[in-house]
Structure 1
Amino acid sequence: MRIFQWMYDKALLWSRHRHAERYLAGLSFTESVIFPIPPDVMLAPMALARPEKAWRFAWVTTLFSVLGGVCGYFLGLWLYEPVVLPAMEYLGKHDAFAKVQQWFTEYGVWVVFIAGFSPIPYKLFTVGAGLMSMAFWPFLLASFIARASRFFLVAGLMYWGGEKMQQKLRDIVDTLGWGTVGLAVLLYLVYR
């Protein structure tokens, strides 16, 4: 079944939409606060479809992701008990958030940098930084450097890979997709 290849083709088509850049900005912002899907899934096809704008898309993704991170920071700083804590309990993420707080105590600003660059849910760390009253400017600097590094790397790979990479991704996207689904099911079964 080639469902992921069909979705990949649709993503490339949608990435050419006249409002795609606005959607990328919105996704980048919300992912840093609440949304579970990373902006890379939109940035990569957009950079592939329009390589002449790859660097612009990386800037948009970076800036709006950092702005979302700032929003998450202030949610944690000012609205943890009335807004964030009930949401964490409702979603069953209270234990994960306790682990984030422990990492802040151990690693400080470095944990923001690592979360901003890696696939670790960045939103937990933006809210955690505010909750832990981390100094704002180091948080902002670590967020900007980490997010820019990640998104410019993605855009650069798509830009330099070009048509060859686009075709190669299209050829293997079903294998990657089903492998990810299988890994998610396995992790669910192991950790439930």
Structure 2
Amino acid sequence: MDLISTLIQSLIGNYVGLFILMLLEGMSLPVPSEIVMPLAGAFSRDGFMSLWAVVAVGTMGSLLGSLVDYYIALYAGKAVIRRYGRFLHLNERRIDRVQSWFNKYGVAAVFFMKFVPGFRALISFPAGFGRMKIGKFTLATLGGHVIWDTVLASIGYVYASSWNMLIYLMDKYLNYIAIFLAAGLMMYFVFLLLRTRKGPLKD
């Protein structure tokens, strides 16, 4: 099995890896469900996993991650999240935008935000800040995750051959990609070095 396929299958092509990745996604960490779930669906088409088990495992991981964020916000409070949110790639502007949605739409915001990439995990925080009842939060979150994960996994299942081709091309041109990235990083560090020697750039 080629390198890229091996790496992806070890991360996503098994239930444990899928659960962990979706747990991290539910906790607002930068793990894109838009990639993880379709790839898991593609693996189910190839017989590595069951499609419905993929949906169930992915959804449970996302739900648990969302509950972790909910309880962090519930017990830690907004001030702590604002101070340490950078470690979860949160910023005050994004939190405020999601908070305004939650204040305006409540349970509906929790449900519909699950279909908005980049903000879907963040809704757990204002729900916790606002002390939303855990039953309502869990049902709205579960409903959103089930629909979202089912759609993404089904797309991967239907277009499995396309995903396999993409993985094949990535593996075939891996060396060229690595060289390109290394050259780009080198140029970036040279730029930083020259900028430091010359002092701050002026507008």
Taking structure 2 as the reference length, the TM-score comes to: 0.69
Residue of structure 2 in register with 1:29 after alignment: 23
Alignment correspondent of 1:99:
97
- Residue of structure 2 in register with 1:86 after alignment: 83
Q: What's the % identity of the aligned pairs? A: 21
After TM superposition, list the pairs within 5 Å mapping 1:100-139 onto structure 2.
100-139=98-137
Unpaired segments ≥5 residues, structure 1:
1-5, 174-192
Aligned residue among 25, 39, 50 for 2:44:
50
Work out whether residues 109 and 142 of structure 1, in 8 Å CA contact, stay in contact via their aligned partners in 2: yes
**Residue pair 2:25, 2:32 contacting (<8 A) in 1 also:** yes
Deviations 1:14-44 (CA, angstroms, capped at 9, x unpaired): 3433874222211111212231222332222
Alpha-carbon distance between aligned partners in 1 of 2:90 and 2:43, rounded to the nearest angstrom: 38
Kindly indicate whether the alpha-carbon contact (under 8 Å) linking 1:113 and 1:143 is maintained by their aligned counterparts in 2.
yes
* 2:69 and 2:125 in contact (8 A); partners too: yes
Please, which runs of 5 or more residues in structure 2 have no aligned partner? 171-203
* Number of positions where the alignment pairs a residue of Structure 1 with one of Structure 2: 165
The structure that is helix-richer by fraction is 1
- CA 1:38 to 1:166, structure 2 compared with 1: closer, same or farther past 3 Å? closer
Q: Which has the larger radius of gyration?
A: 2
Structure 1 residues 108 and 31: alpha-carbon distance in aligned structure 2, compared to 1, 3 A threshold: same
Number of the residue aligned with 1:140: 138
RMSD (CA atoms): 2.9
1:143-158 equivalences under 5 Å are 143-158=141-156
1:13 has 2:11 as partner: no
